[in-house]
Structure 1
Amino acid sequence: MDRYHEMVMFEALSDRPSLAAAARRLKVSGPTVVRAVARLEARLGVSLLQRSTQGVVLTRAGEAFMADCSHILQEIEIAEASAKGLHIEAQGNLTVLLPLLFSRYVMTPLLTDYMDMYPDIKLFTHYHDRFPNMNEEALDVAVLIGNLPNSSWIARPVGYVRSIVCGSPDYLEAHGEPCSPDDLKQHKLIGTQAFRNSIQWDFQNQGLQNSIRARTRLSCATVQAAISATAHGAGITRCLSYPLYDYLNSGRLQRILQPFELPSLPVHVVYRERRKASMRLRSFVDHVVDGLRKHPAMQPDVL
């Protein structure tokens, strides 16, 4: 069996790591899939699957090789379609994970434009501020904020966000602008977690990180509520930069303690390539990556 067919056998495990399910999907016998994976492992010199009485799971090397196989087989399929002169329309379903507040402030216009451009694609969007398991949750694409924990993901960087402390110009004029994180203890602080009467904000000074604990004057259940209260002069708050962009750009809020901010957090569009979803996946990823890279709130530090 040539390498192409071995890769096809292995890639059949992408939906669910089950040798029996892969065999049914390919309409071959189970031993055929087992032998193909064994030949791959012998040639590569690594274990691609971990076998147990409960079934099989991909090893770290298996996850990385799976991503490469999917990419290679996708390119082969696209090349063949192009050679045949086929015009493949983007259509079908896409399941996407987005950070909740990020979606409201940044992603919604991009999603609307995409649906206008590709009316035959149906989006299923999930909103969570966490790192997912792309395979187990059957996600096609995710927008993730922070350093990625999984190096085997296919990820495209699109920009940066920062954790910013801010207050309204009227409040800072009346109460004075804090010059150091310790000065915050003398101010009215607005937290972004309900039912907590204190904050713990991290800062850095000359490369060393330290935390400030202080009582809050107001604790809000949502970040947007904290931002609105801050813009109306209720005190000082801290949150990620993207929901603050319009407030800072219009002057309704003022950024403070910038020299003490933590390093910027990267934003990535992460996806898993599947051959049967090539056109819809590629169209969505390209559209979102291009839109986010142009978004002013994603730039390294323009606020």
Structure 2
Amino acid sequence: MDRLDTLRVFVAVAEQAGFAAAARHLRLSAPAVTRAVVALEQRVGARLLHRTTRSVRLTEAGERYLADCKRILQDLEEADAAAGGDYAEPQGWLAVTASSMFGRLHVAPLLLDFLAAYPKVNVRSLFVDRVVNLVDEGLDVAVRIARLPDSSLTAVRVGSVRAVVVASPDYLGRRGIPAVPADLQGHHAIGIAQTGGRAAPWRFGRDATAAEPAVRLVVNSGDVAIGAALAGHGLARALSYQVAADVVAGRLQIVLAEHEPPPTPVHLVYPEGRKAAAKVRAFVDFAAPRLRERLQLAAPEPMPAAAEAEGR
């Protein structure tokens, strides 16, 4: 087994969390996998894995070495792809991630159009509500709704979204329209659970000052919170793209717009440091203008003051 094959074995053991599972994944014998890892540890002069009869886990040195191995193997795959022409024509599998609701509403339709435009590209999507490490999870492009930290990722801005407070016209007719964040104490609020189960605070103003609304319902899904607001159960906090259709249709109304925090940017991000494959460049070029257009359409304005007054 050559050195690169040994690195692949080590990565498989770490990712599969065991020698037997790695052996099945690689279609090798368990003793061959064990010998490869032992030889690797002897060569680097450090223990990379803690082994017990029930589990295998990385040592601190193993965690660092795993990240380096993944980078080396990915560089090799990309070099092979470049030599084979994958950088000249969009082809192969493209993996794209986004948050659950944004992915469903805006990314999924783009992916279908992209498949039609690029018949040699296949797409794998991952729509989850967590920050995904692109390299660790084998992903090519992410849509990030956040202020980006300094990183090795290339970012293409495609717009921004607002954090809005919405309620149904029926609810506002019964309870009145809050004029300032302090008025939230006199309203029923629908909260989104954060770590520990408590409702996340609502932030207002340019300095994003936290406010604690009078929460009567806590849910762990933006879809559920919006559904409760549509049913007239209270005020909900959402991102503008999530409620755009309901606001335009008059099913929800934006309140406290003058107290909103600054908009949150939206970017397409992908790893830099290596020449991007044609499929990645093609998708970014395809998706960026379409997402910009979608985000502009998904930024509903609040009702004018006169219209709000009629609902009091």
Secondary structure in 2 aligned to 1:214? coil
The residue type paired with residue 226 of structure 1 is A
Q: Distance in 2 between matches of 1:296 and 1:269?
A: 13
Deviates more, 1:189-198 or 1:234-243: 189-198
CA distance in 2, matches of 1:172, 1:201: 19
CA distance 1:221–1:134, shift in 2 (3 Å): closer
Aligned-pair identity in percent equals: 35
Unaligned runs of 5+ in 2: 1-7, 12-60, 303-312
Which structure 2 residues correspond to residues 106-185 of structure 1 after superposition, within 5 A?
A: 106-185=106-185
In structure 2, the residue corresponding to 1:191 is in which secondary structure? strand
Query: 1:213-232 to 2 correspondence within 5 Å?
Result: 213-232=212-231
CA distance in 1, matches of 2:297, 2:249: 17
TM-score of the superposition, structure 2-length normalised? 0.65
Match status 1:288 vs 2:287: yes
Q: 1:250 is aligned with what amino acid? A: A
Distance 1:211 1:280 in 2: 42
Does the residue aligned with 2:212 lie in a helix, a strand or coil?
Answer: strand
Letter in 1 for 2:120: D
Q: Confirm whether residue 203 of structure 1 aligns to residue 204 of structure 2.
A: yes
Distance in 2 (CA, whole Å) between partners of 1:199 and 1:129 is 15
Root mean square deviation, CA, Å: 3.9
1:130 Cα shift? 3.4
1:32 matched to which residue of 2? Answer: none
CA distance in 1, matches of 2:226, 2:191: 10
Cα shift readout 1:206-265 (whole Å, capped 9, x = no counterpart):
x44422223322223321121122112111111111111101111111110011111101
- Aligned residue for 1:283, secondary structure, equals helix
CA contact (8 A) 1:160 1:299 kept: no
CA change 1:222–1:55 in 2 (3 A) is closer
Of residues 241-250 and 265-274 in structure 1, the stretch that sits farther from structure 2 once superposed is 265-274
Q: CA deviation at 1:114?
A: 0.9
Report the Cα distance in structure 1 between the residues aligned to 2:88 and 2:153, rounded to whole angstroms.
26
SS at 1:136's partner residue?
A: coil
Instruction: Tell which deviates more after alignment, 169-178 or 216-225.
Output: 216-225
Structure 1 position 272 matched with structure 2 position 271: yes
**1: distance between equivalents of 2:155 and 2:199?**
36
Give the Cα separation in 1 of the matches to 2:245 and 2:94.
30
- Cα deviation code 1:248-285 (max 9, x no counterpart): 1111111100111111010000112554x622111111
State the Cα distance separating 1:128 from its structure 2 match: 2.6
C-alpha displacement at 1:299, in angstroms?
7.0
1:30 maps to what in 2? none
Give the gaps of 5 or more residues in structure 1.
Answer: 1-14, 19-51, 68-72, 82-86
Residues 167-200 of structure 1 show CA distances to partners (whole Å, capped at 9, x for unaligned) of 1112112211001111111111112339957552
Partner of 1:37: none
CA 1:56–1:260 in structure 2 vs 1: closer, same or farther (change >3 Å)?
same
Distance change >3 Å, CA 248–CA 300, structure 1 → 2: closer
The answer to whether the 8 A contact 2:201-2:211 is kept is yes
- CA shift for structure 1 position 136: 2.6
Alignment of 1:56-135 (within 5 A): 89-135=89-135
In the alignment, structure 1 residue 188 sits paired with structure 2 residue 163: no
Distance in 2 between the 1:263 and 1:291 partners? 23
Question: Is 2:262 aligned against 1:263?
Answer: yes
CA distance in 2, matches of 1:180, 1:279: 50
